Every structure is written in C-alpha cells, then in structure tokens.
C-alpha cells in the first residue's frame, strides 16, 4: 500500500509541476497534440530567385518533334554567332505549363569564355533535345522554341 501511495504522490507531484509550465515539453498534454501556432518555413529574406545566366541562342534554324515511347522528343538546332558555345538546353520558363495551348521553350547556351572564330555555319551548329511526357502533352497544341532573333513553332503530332 505504501508503494502505491508513493507512486500516486509522485505522479501527482509530477503532473502538478507540468501544469505550472504549460508550454513545457515535459507536459504530457503537449506530447502528441503538436504546436497549434502557425509555423512558416519561408526564410525571412524571402526565396532567392535564380535566373539562368546563359544567353538565348542567336537563331533557331530547325525544330523537330519526334514521337517516342511515352511522349515526344523536341529537337532543335540553333546557330550561335561564333564557335565555342556550350551547355545548351531547352528551358521551360513556365515549368511545362502551356499558355493558350502553346508551350514555350527557351533555347539557351553559355557563351565561350574567350574570343572564338566565326568559321563555317556547320561548325557552329548546336543541337539540343527536350523530352515531354504524354501527360504533359495533354494540354499542349503547339510547341515554340525561342531564340534571341527568331522562334520556330510546330504543332504536336
């Protein structure tokens, strides 16, 4: 009987101490309830907006849409002003969400760090490809690839 009384007194003392510190982690009422206050994970300074430092390719010369298993491959050929352009990609500024049925892709490539010769057009050709799944194609009627001086548009097949 003494053991039960002692255990009951200890529990009562422990719980009485928790009631005075209602926000404490030692309070059993706070263990599974979670925090009711709104928490934001956004940084105080806001999110950093990262812009692509690569330039738009000068001219888009060719655009192909090739059907594949589960979608299409958009292939484009661009012509930079000189040789040496690298890290070329098709970038979707709208995260593959079409505007009025048209998906716009920007043809971007990094400029060479040093002066490069102009040379022949064949030596300057830059090819890129971009995969679009069947799910992404549901609301797309046209695909447009944009360069600095022009753009090419094709209807999906």
User: What does the pLDDT look like over 125-135, one tens digit per residue?
Assistant: 999 999 999 99
Q: Report pLDDT digits (tens) over 16-62.
A: 655 556 666 766 766 765 555 666 777 878 787 778 889 999 999 99
Mean of the per-residue pLDDT values of the chain? 85
Q: Could you tell me if 82 and 9 lie in one domain? A: no
Q: Could you tell me if 59 and 119 lie in one domain? A: yes
Mean pLDDT of the 85-93 span = 93
Whether 39 is in a domain gets the answer: no
Whether 20 is in a domain gets the answer: yes
Q: Could you tell me if 60 and 11 lie in one domain? A: no
Whether 103 is in a domain gets the answer: yes
100, 114, 157: which is closest to 134 by C-alpha? 157
Q: Could you tell me if 112 and 146 lie in one domain? A: yes
Mean pLDDT of the 129-156 span = 92
Instruction: Work out the percent of the chain whose per-residue pLDDT is above 90.
Output: 52
More confident residue, 155 or 4: 155
- Tokens 């002692």, located at residue: 6
Q: Could you tell me if 25 and 77 lie in one domain? A: no
Q: Could you tell me if 59 and 28 lie in one domain? A: no
Q: Which helix (H) or strand (E) holds 153?
A: strand 151-155
Q: Could you tell me if 91 and 22 lie in one domain? A: no
DSSP letter at 140 equals -
Q: Report pLDDT digits (tens) over 106-132.
A: 999 999 999 888 888 898 999 999 999
Whether 137 is in a domain gets the answer: yes
> Could you give the number of structural domains in the chain?
2
38, 13, 39, 36: which is closest to 26 by C-alpha? 13
More confident residue, 74 or 13: 74
pTM, full prediction:
0.67
Q: Could you tell me if 130 and 76 lie in one domain? A: yes
Q: What share of the chain is helix, strand, coil (3-state, %, to 5)?
A: 20, 35, 45
Q: Could you tell me if 111 and 69 lie in one domain? A: yes
CA neighbours closer than 13 Å in the CB half-sphere of residue 154:
16
The helix/strand/coil state of 90 is strand
Q: Could you tell me if 104 and 146 lie in one domain? A: yes
C-alpha distances in Å from residue 45, one per residue of 37, 39, 51: 21, 16, 17
Q: Could you tell me if 136 and 63 lie in one domain? A: yes
Boundaries of domain holding 9: 1-33
Q: Could you tell me if 98 and 135 lie in one domain? A: yes
On whether the CB atoms of residues 96 and 135 are closer than 8 A, the answer is no
């Amino acid at each position: 009987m003494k053991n039960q009384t002692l255990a009951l007194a200890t529990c009562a003392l422990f719980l009485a101490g928790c009631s005075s510190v209602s926000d404490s982690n030692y309070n059993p009422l706070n263990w599974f309830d979670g925090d009711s206050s709104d928490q934001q994970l956004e940084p105080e300074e806001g999110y950093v907006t990262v812009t692509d430092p690569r330039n738009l390719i000068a001219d888009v010369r060719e655009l192909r849409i090739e059907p594949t298993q589960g979608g299409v491959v958009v292939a484009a050929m661009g012509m930079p002003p000189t040789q040496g352009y690298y890290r070329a990609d098709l970038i979707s500024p709208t995260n593959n969400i079409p505007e009025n049925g048209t998906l716009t892709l920007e043809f971007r490539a990094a400029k060479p760090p040093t002066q490069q010769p102009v040379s022949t057009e064949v030596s300057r050709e830059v090819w890129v490809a971009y995969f679009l799944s069947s799910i992404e194609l549901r609301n797309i009627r046209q695909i447009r690839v944009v360069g600095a001086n022009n753009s090419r548009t094709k209807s999906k097949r």
